[in-house]
Amino acid sequence: MSRHLAAAHDLVVPRAVVRHGTTTLVDVADLRIDAGHALTIVGESGSGKSVLAHALMGTLPPELVAEGTLEVGSLRFDLADRGGRRHLWGRRMALLPQEPALALDPTMRVRHQVAEGAAVWKPRAASALRLADERLDHLGLAGARSAYPHTLSGGMAQRVAYAAATIGGAQLLIVDEPSKGLDGDAVDRLAGLLAAHVEAGGLLLTITHDLRLARRLGGQVLVMRDAVVLERGPADQVLSTPVHPYTARLLAAEPSRWRFPWMTTPEPSGEEAPLVAAHSISKAYGDAPLFDDLSMEIRAGERWAITGPSGAGKTTLGNALLRLTSVDRGTVAHGPTAHGGRLQKLYQDPALSFPARVPLGVGLRDVMRRHDVDEARLGSLLATVGLPRDVLRRRPDQVSGGELQRIAIVRAMLPRPALVFADEATSRLDLVTQQMTVDTLMSEVVASGCALLLVTHDRGLAASLTSRAVSLNGGGEAEIVTTAAQPAMPGSSR
């Protein structure tokens, strides 16, 4: 790839502070990115890492106030001056935004959107469009030149946004949470592009909570929490032998490093009638088959995962097994122990799974009345998930996502279910919160002997929780994989 990056200068930020009212969101010092090196900031949501990125770029929302300076070579910029860096945008510094699908104008074909970023762009001039086509072809998007954004997959939209952000030849590339909503293959592909930018002598600042991506990019790593930097150093050192206890906790929260008692509890091997029996079911979305002629049985206590790339139909298969979605062909039968509210589901966004304007406790009381559950069981469940009783007086929008998902677990467990279907139930949670939530769920699952059906795009999570998997390839083929009698032990999947 021929790249004409502006003469390499290092970027130095002696100090950067961002405030919202009286709250300090970011307070970091001595930030430095060397040409040809990557700097990655890791941390959980709310740590201030994205705010820092936007403060450097000059794209903070008006209610946030920044202080500090940014130095590129001999040039100095005041972070408080929003307009001062605008002439650098696209040419010297570029931003690859979060959620590329939203960063593309829905009403414009992608080649025009990419061309806009080129330094030679003029309305109705062909040269920028030619350049845009070149870049899109290079990224394997030749077929998508004239597509509208809504027809692109998440990974394709990400690459289009990458082309648009880098076509102007900016040396500094700031990347904000690039792996959000992408499956493993798409993240790998993006990591390759980012690494190429660094190799070409560029400066790369990546904001992410994805430790795998941080390892792949190498260079320097900063760990942020509550507006400040807790630890910094070379990526391979910080991400394997951390010094700060918080970093250690963060690393231990990766599914591949989990060690929980329930991971070694064997599944019951009763030969009872199946809870759910699917017989040669097929379903297509438009012309694209999701699964075809698939047969499977889930028995009491078994732990199943449905894995595959995004858009492969994982959730649809799970819903079909619970008979929430119809199938095109085939039958799904439920055993006698699965009737009367004994199949439960946990949702990706727990906020949508509760009535929005009703206090949580009111909804739970309806469940308890319907299923004759006594107060003591609710109390013990709340204690297990580690939530105070007061939380039930709040509405769904007044508790955090992690807390709400734990209340959803309580709700699902109240009618003593035979099977719980967890549909990407922890994919929106931070690593540490995910670890805590999964532990809660699995402890309950193992204690009550109910079966688990897990839909996830995270292979590490699937391997840690389950021993049987349906793997969808996105092209209508499904493969049933059964590992040993027990879930994979930690360490083996790294």
Stretch in the footprint of other proteins (CB under 8 A) among 126-134, 225-233, 355-363, 375-383:
355-363
Q: Which of 6, 228, 333, 367 binds other proteins (CB under 8 A)?
A: 367
User: Cβ of residue 367: shortest distance to other proteins, in angstroms?
Assistant: 5
Q: Is 294 helix (H, G, I), strand (E, B) or coil?
A: strand
Q: Which of 196, 358, 447, 489 binds other proteins (CB under 8 A)?
A: 358
Closest CB to other proteins among 1 and 362? 362
Stretch in the footprint of other proteins (CB under 8 A) among 137-145, 157-165, 216-224, 467-475:
157-165
Helix 154-166 / helix 184-199 crossing angle, nearest 10 deg? 10
Q: In whole angstroms, give the CA distance from residue 363 to residue 443.
A: 24
User: Cβ of residue 339: shortest distance to other proteins, in angstroms?
Assistant: 9
In whole angstroms, what separates CA 214 from the centre of its chain? 14
Site size toward other proteins (CB under 8 A) is 67
Q: In whole angstroms, give the CA distance from residue 30 to residue 420.
A: 49
Positions 108 through 127 that interact with other proteins (CB under 8 A): 108, 113, 116-117, 119, 121, 123
Q: Which of 24, 98, 265, 443 binds other proteins (CB under 8 A)?
A: 98
Q: CB atoms < 10 A from the CB of 151, how many?
A: 10
Place of tokens 């699952």: 445
User: Cβ of residue 36: shortest distance to other proteins, in angstroms?
Assistant: 23
Q: Is the separation of the CB atoms in 332 and 281 below 8 Å?
A: yes
Q: Which of 61, 286, 388, 491 binds other proteins (CB under 8 A)?
A: 61
Site string for other proteins, 11-40 (x = CB under 8 A): ---------xx-x-x---------------
Query: First vs last Cα of the chain: how many Å apart?
Result: 32
Stretch in the footprint of other proteins (CB under 8 A) among 6-14, 67-75, 86-94, 225-233:
86-94
User: Cβ of residue 25: shortest distance to other proteins, in angstroms?
Assistant: 7
Q: Which of 39, 354, 405, 451 binds other proteins (CB under 8 A)?
A: 354
Residues with Cβ within 8 Å of 49's Cβ and at least 6 positions away in sequence, in order, are: 41, 42, 43, 207, 224
The CA–CA distances, whole Å, from 288 to 58, 316, 323, 475 equal 43, 13, 21, 7
- Residue 358's nearest CA partner among 407, 406, 319, 421 is 407
Q: Which of 341, 361, 402, 474 binds other proteins (CB under 8 A)?
A: 341
The CA–CA distances, whole Å, from 4 to 8, 38, 92, 169, 197 equal 11, 18, 11, 6, 11
Q: Which of 148, 297, 333, 443 binds other proteins (CB under 8 A)?
A: 148
Question: Any contact of residue 316 with other proteins (CB under 8 A)?
Answer: no
Q: In whole angstroms, give the CA distance from residue 246 to residue 171.
A: 33
Question: Any contact of residue 370 with other proteins (CB under 8 A)?
Answer: yes
Positions 408 through 467 that interact with other proteins (CB under 8 A): 411, 415
Closest CB to other proteins among 168 and 242? 168
The CA–CA distances, whole Å, from 296 to 321, 342, 459, 478 equal 9, 19, 20, 11
Q: In whole angstroms, give the CA distance from residue 230 to residue 251.
A: 14
Q: Which of 199, 293, 328, 366 binds other proteins (CB under 8 A)?
A: 366
Q: Which of 9, 54, 303, 314 binds other proteins (CB under 8 A)?
A: 54
User: Cβ of residue 319: shortest distance to other proteins, in angstroms?
Assistant: 9
Q: Is the separation of the CB atoms in 146 and 109 below 8 Å?
A: yes
Residues with Cβ within 8 Å of 230's Cβ and at least 6 positions away in sequence, in order, are: 223, 224, 244, 246, 247
Question: Any contact of residue 345 with other proteins (CB under 8 A)?
Answer: yes
Q: Is the separation of the CB atoms in 444 and 413 below 8 Å?
A: yes
The CA–CA distances, whole Å, from 384 to 253, 368, 406, 439 equal 19, 18, 10, 10
Q: Is 18 helix (H, G, I), strand (E, B) or coil?
A: strand
User: Cβ of residue 460: shortest distance to other proteins, in angstroms?
Assistant: 25
Largest CA distance in the chain: 76
Closest CB to other proteins among 124 and 494? 124
Q: In whole angstroms, give the CA distance from residue 241 to residue 490.
A: 18
Closest CB to other proteins among 102 and 196? 102
Question: Any contact of residue 292 with other proteins (CB under 8 A)?
Answer: no
Q: Which of 1, 29, 75, 102 binds other proteins (CB under 8 A)?
A: 102
Q: Which of 73, 340, 386, 475 binds other proteins (CB under 8 A)?
A: 340
User: Cβ of residue 473: shortest distance to other proteins, in angstroms?
Assistant: 26
* Residues at the interface with other proteins (CB under 8 A): 20-21, 23, 25, 45-46, 50-51, 54, 57, 59-61, 63-64, 86, 89-91, 94-95, 97-99, 102-108, 113, 116-117, 119, 121, 123, 148, 150, 161, 164-165, 168, 322, 324, 340-341, 343-345, 347, 349, 352-358, 362-363, 366-367, 370-371, 411, 415
